[in-house]
Structure formats: structure tokens, C-alpha cells
Chains A and B, each alone.
Chain A
Amino acid sequence: MATKLFIDGAWVEAENGETFPTFAPSTGEQIDEVAKASRGDAIKAVEAARRAFDEGPWPRLSGAERAAKLNRVAEIITERSAEISEIEARDGGGTIKKAMFADIPGAAGTFQYFAGCAETEPDEFDHGESPFPPAKSVIRREPIGVCSQIVPWNFPFIMASWKIAPAIAAGNTVVLKPASFTSLSAVEMVKACEEAEIPPGVVNLITGPGGSAGEELASHPLVDKVAFTGSTEVGRRIMQLASGTVKKVTLELGGKSANIVLDDADLDLAAAGVLFGTFFHNGQVCESGTRALVHADIYDEFVGMLVERAAKIVIGDPLDMATDLGPLVAPAQVDTVERYVKLGLDEGAKLLCGGSNPAGLAEGLDSTAYFSPTIFEADNSMRIAQEEIFGPVLCVIKINSDEEAVAVANDSIYGLGGGVWSTDADRAHSVASQMRTGTVWINDYHMLSPQQPFGGYKQSGIGRELSEIGYNEYRQVKHVWRNTATNRDGYMHFAALSGEI
């Protein structure tokens, strides 16, 4: 049975009755049909969200009341963790291990964290000493309104939580559109919101074409904010669509992040970190550290460790807990990776390992959907080092100094993630502070949590998600000037109006 849209508290078919199939990438098998929303469906969802914001109870509840609902969503997600994990792994191709240990608890934790924000972040506070006492300034933080939220296919469930949770915690209403071919877990998240008795119209779900339904969500005049995670060029498109009514926009876009390994690094730890930083979820992660900048003095030894360990990564059935890497999201993504491997060879990069579909997969798995972890020795000017491949491809680049490492790391249109590996904390911090990027992990990688802000410099995005900074991306700032004085003697502007000067 096909999944439905969720509009104004009701599960409904697309108005034209259309659906599209969704597949399990590991086997190529169709696992469900998904409602294919039209532009009209998107408009209905936006209108429902508008009514819920303008007339409904949600923005008018106390933060504590909203927090209770968000905490209930987190409980429901946790109760259904095993079921949702399997849906996520089957539909998106990520491993069950990633779903059970990262995606599902991460999403539940995100709802809990923003429930905490709704309870504890003040909605109103005095703003410092007044220049004109007894008048005083009060700052109010108010919800923005209707938020369209569009999420990508690489982390469908946790990305949906990063969008929905802060928005509704702050009192906004939302229309969520997952990437078409990974819609199933978003349906489960919206079911959890329904079960938690979040009022109708507060959370709406649209599945289907970005070119029509998605475009409507980004441009409709009743929408106040658009939040998007995905490609840089699509982010630009969304900014243009949103500009018509000057919507607030937050974007989390591409990356080509540098993982810098200095000559005093703990090589054992760094090798594990560089491999994890690149190959986690087959490199289909926007902040992946796909450029390893390795100091010349340790280069040969370190690269040898990378190649030796890459061969030990377990590739297989995503539903097997022993599997490190499942398939890519679809065979077409493998085609993209193959194109870049060929480009890399044409450009003169040296292929150290991988470069093809893995051999020896278990029967029933579609090897054309898989790709072996691939490591190139490359130059930073090459296309494979400049363009985001979004696959399991690491470019190792030799550097001779901290200064060169910083220069090469910053030689990218992106600035999303990055890593520095060193046993000298001050040296690592100095390098990190010179990297033009939104997150730097020192002796670590991919460590994201609801408490820490995440977002990009340069063409990697606008605004931040998560933390109190991400929460405030969903709140307006209102300045209220309160003056209790009974006269305005000495006020130059009043004097001018009265004709006294």
C-alpha cells in the first residue's frame, strides 16, 4: 500500500492519485509506493501550516507545553527504534549499524535537546542598560511562522529531525519534503508527531517532485522560511525562489573537507580517523573529509596504513550488523563515482586502492550498487580534489608545512567540515583556527550532536543547525521599547514636532 501525504492532521493521497516506486538499493527490489504530490498538494500543506500558525494553539502554548510533545515524539521514536532502523537501512542503503547507533537515537536526542530549548531558552528578556531611563529595551524571541523544510537522501531520518524539532520547539509550523527516493522514514517521523498529539497543521508531509511541489514550498507567499540541506546549486535555486517574498533561508550544502595529518600525529588514531572521516556511509556525507592532507615526513608510512586498513573494511548486506559499508544509494550514484575515478586517472592521479565494484558479495546483493573504498594520490588542483564526488573516494595530498596545509585546505569553494590530527593541542588549534570552515574536529571526525552548531562557510551554506544557535535560526528578534516616563522633556525629536525649535 502506498504511503500518503500528511496535510492538516490527515493522511491523504496525492490529489491526482499518483504514486512513484521506491527501491532497496542493496537488492534493487521495489519496497513501496510513495504518494507523488502535485503543486496543488504542496499549496494545501502550506495553507494548513499557515492556519495552524495564525489561528491554532501551537505557537501560543508555553515552551514547557511544546517541550512535553517533543519529548513524547522522542519516546515514540525510541520505542520503535528497531522497526525504523530497518526501514532507514533498506530504503537508503545505509547500514543497520548506522541506523541503530546514529540515525535513530540521534533523531530522538535531537527532539529531546530542542524540547530542552523550548523549556529553558527565554522568550523574553531585558536587553542591557537603557540610554534613556526609565525607558528600557526588552527582546522577545518569537517563532518565524510557516517553515518549508527540504531534506536530502543521505541521512533521511536524522536530517528530518534536525529540521522539524527546532522549528516546532520554537512554535513554528512546518511542511517537510524528504528526498523522493528516501521518503519512508520521514513518514515514520511524522507518524510519531501525530501519535504525540501535536496539533493538526503543525507538521505536514509532502513527498514527491522537487521541480513542482518542492518549488512551490520554496516560493509560496505564505511561507516565511525555507530550510534546505542538499546540493549547492539547488541551494542557490532555493534562494532565488525564496527571494520573491524575502523569506528567511538557511542552507546546508556541499563540502570537500580537508583532514590534515601533521607530522606529530598519533598515526594509528589518525589513520582510523581519516578512513572513518571519508568512508563512513560510503562518503555520502556532506562533511566527509575527502581530502587527506598528509605531512611529507610521515607521508609514506601513513598512506601505507590507510591502504592496508581500507582493505579490511567490511562491505556487504546493510541489514547485517557486521557490515561497515552497504551499497551506495543507487547504481546511478555508483556511475557518478566511476566517472570521477576515470577522471582522476585521466588527470594523472595515482590509484592506490579500490576504483571498482567490490568482488565476492553475498548472493542476492547487487554489486553494481556497491563501490570499493578508493584512495588516490592527488594534487589539489585536480577535479577529483575540487568537486564533491559524494562517494567513497579519498584524495591524499602531500603537504610540507602547517602553512601549506592551511592554504590547501582553504583552496576550495566549500567550507563545511575539517579535521586536524596532532599530539600538540596548541599547534592543532592554531591550524584549526585558520581553516575557513564551519566545523573542525581535532583528533576526531564526524562528531555531530544536537548541542553543537553545524553549518558552512563559503558555498557550503548559510546559517547553522543544531545548538541554541540553530534554535535561534527559527526565532525572530523583536525589540520592545517600554517607556514609563510621564513627559518627554529634553527629547529633541518631540521638541521638533511641537514647534519649540
Chain B
Amino acid sequence: MKVTGTPAAARTVERARRDRRGALVFTIGTGCCESTAPFLYEDFWPGPDQEVVGEVGGVSVYAPAYLRALYPGDDGVVVDVEEDLPAESMSIETEFGCRFVLREPGGAKLAGQDVLECEVDPAGPDDVPATVSARRDRGPQQLPESLRRVRMR
């Protein structure tokens, strides 16, 4: 799974960076009202099965193992922003008047879709919560060989 973002998503991240107090993290989550969608949170702690799958506007995007398995390969998923607002996911919606959405894999192939391969923000390492940095320092979290075939269901 590889996630990129549109210029509109990157601009919205910039706005959030100005408005929010904490360090920003994207997490892609699933289920219920928002379906599978990206959420922009501050000082968010990625779960033990989450890994970085891309950057949008200099903010790391995390996804759980379950979703990474469903979206294999590098053709990518695109984070975009739109103004229609059914959701209220404690991310940006009512506050900014827009929400982050996922576009389908192969987003670069979408007609008329301007896909931005976001540059890594030079300030990146200082721009993530200590908890995230600590996770990165530990390196990728590997399950023991004996457990790799077991599905946590």
C-alpha cells in the first residue's frame, strides 16, 4: 500500500498545521459511518500493527496491517479533500467545512485527477509526536515467525 495526496489535501494539511496545537498524523481507518477513510489527528498514537504507507503535505499516513493486505502493491491510494460533509469523525469536518476522502488505487489514472507526489517535509522528524518517533526508532514491528500465519480474528 502506498498513499499519496492531492494538492487540495496538502493545502488542507497546511491549514491544519496552522490551526492545531499538536503534531499531525494521518491514520487510515475503517468501519461504520465513514467507511474506509483517512483521518487527520493531532498527537495520535499509531497502533502496534500500523505502519507508514505515505506522506501527505509532510504528514505521515499510517495504515493497519489489515488494510495494507487489502491494498497491496505500489499503485497507491490517494488522499483527497471534498466539501460535501456527511461525516463527523473528530478530524476536520465541521471545523474546516471539508473532509478527507480516499480515492481508489491507481488514482493517477483517474480522469482529470491531479495527483501530487508529496515531498517529505524537511521539518518532518520534529513534526511527529514523541510516541510516533519512538515507534519509528524501534523499526518495523515484526510478528514472531510462529505467529505470522495466525490471523488475529
A and B assemble together:
yes
In the complex, whether B141 has a CB less than 8 A from a CB of chain A is no
**Which B residue's beta carbon lies closest to that of A178?**
B88
A458 to B151: give the CA distance in the assembly, Å.
12
B152 to chain A, nearest CB (A): 8
Stretch at the interface among B2-10, B28-36, B52-60, B117-125: B28-36
Question: Is there contact, CB below 8 Å, between B95 and A211?
Answer: yes
A106 to B44: give the CA distance in the assembly, Å.
37
Residues of A within 8 A of B37 (CB): 231, 233
A240 to B41: give the CA distance in the assembly, Å.
11
Residues of B within 8 A of A340 (CB): 35
In the complex, whether B133 has a CB less than 8 A from a CB of chain A is no
In the complex, whether A429 has a CB less than 8 A from a CB of chain B is no
Question: Is there contact, CB below 8 Å, between B153 and A210?
Answer: no
Residues of A within 8 A of B41 (CB): 237
In the complex, whether B85 has a CB less than 8 A from a CB of chain A is yes
A351 to chain B, nearest CB (A): 16
A218 to B90: give the CA distance in the assembly, Å.
10
User: Provided the pairs A153-B33, A181-B88 are in contact, do residues A36 and B39 lie with their beta carbons within 8 angstroms?
Assistant: no
A460 to B31: give the CA distance in the assembly, Å.
9
Residues of A within 8 A of B35 (CB): 336, 340, 387-391
Contact with A along B81-125 (1 / 0, CB 8 A): 010111111111111010101111000000000000000000000
Kindly count the residue-residue contacts between A and B in the assembled complex, taking CB atoms under 8 Å apart: 152
In the complex, whether B12 has a CB less than 8 A from a CB of chain A is no
Question: Is there contact, CB below 8 Å, between A388 and B95?
Answer: no
Residues of A within 8 A of B153 (CB): 410-413, 436, 458
Question: Is there contact, CB below 8 Å, between B32 and A152?
Answer: yes
Of the candidates B44, B95, B102, which one forms a contact with A240 in the assembled complex, judged by CB atoms under 8 Å apart?
A: B44
A237 to B89: give the CA distance in the assembly, Å.
9
In the complex, whether A277 has a CB less than 8 A from a CB of chain B is no
B150 to chain A, nearest CB (A): 13
**Which A residue's beta carbon lies closest to that of B71?**
A383
In the complex, whether B140 has a CB less than 8 A from a CB of chain A is no
Of the candidates A240, A410, A411, A458, which one forms a contact with B45 in the assembled complex, judged by CB atoms under 8 Å apart?
A: A240
Question: Considering the complex, which residues of chain A in the window 225-264 have a beta carbon less than 8 Å from any beta carbon of chain B?
Answer: 229-234, 236-238, 240, 253-256
Question: Is there contact, CB below 8 Å, between B31 and A414?
Answer: yes
User: Provided the pairs A215-B90, A231-B29, A253-B31 are in contact, do residues A413 and B66 lie with their beta carbons within 8 angstroms?
Assistant: yes
Question: Is there contact, CB below 8 Å, between B88 and A214?
Answer: yes
Contact with A along B68-84 (1 / 0, CB 8 A): 00110000000000101
Question: Is there contact, CB below 8 Å, between A231 and B34?
Answer: yes
Of the candidates A154, A237, A346, A436, which one forms a contact with B44 in the assembled complex, judged by CB atoms under 8 Å apart?
A: A237
User: Provided the pairs A180-B94, A215-B90, A237-B44 are in contact, do residues A232 and B32 lie with their beta carbons within 8 angstroms?
Assistant: yes
Contact with B along A117-160 (1 / 0, CB 8 A): 00000000000000000000000000000000000111000000
Question: Is there contact, CB below 8 Å, between A238 and B90?
Answer: yes
A460 to B93: give the CA distance in the assembly, Å.
23
Residues of B within 8 A of A36 (CB): 94
In the complex, whether A394 has a CB less than 8 A from a CB of chain B is no
Nearest 6 pairs of A and B residues by beta carbon: A233-B29, A254-B31, A332-B84, A210-B90, A232-B31, A330-B86
Chain B residues close to A by CB (< 8 Å): 27-37, 39, 41, 44-45, 47, 66, 70-71, 82, 84-95, 97, 99, 101-104, 151, 153
Chain A residues close to B by CB (< 8 Å): 20, 36, 152-154, 179-181, 208-212, 214-215, 218, 229-234, 236-238, 240, 253-256, 284, 286, 328-333, 335-336, 339-340, 342-343, 346, 383, 386-391, 410-414, 436, 458-460
15 extra interface residue pairs, beta carbon distance < 8 Å, beyond A215-B90, A231-B30, A253-B32: A209-B94, A210-B89, A233-B27, A233-B28, A233-B29, A233-B34, A284-B33, A332-B84, A386-B66, A386-B70, A387-B70, A388-B32, A390-B34, A411-B153, A436-B153
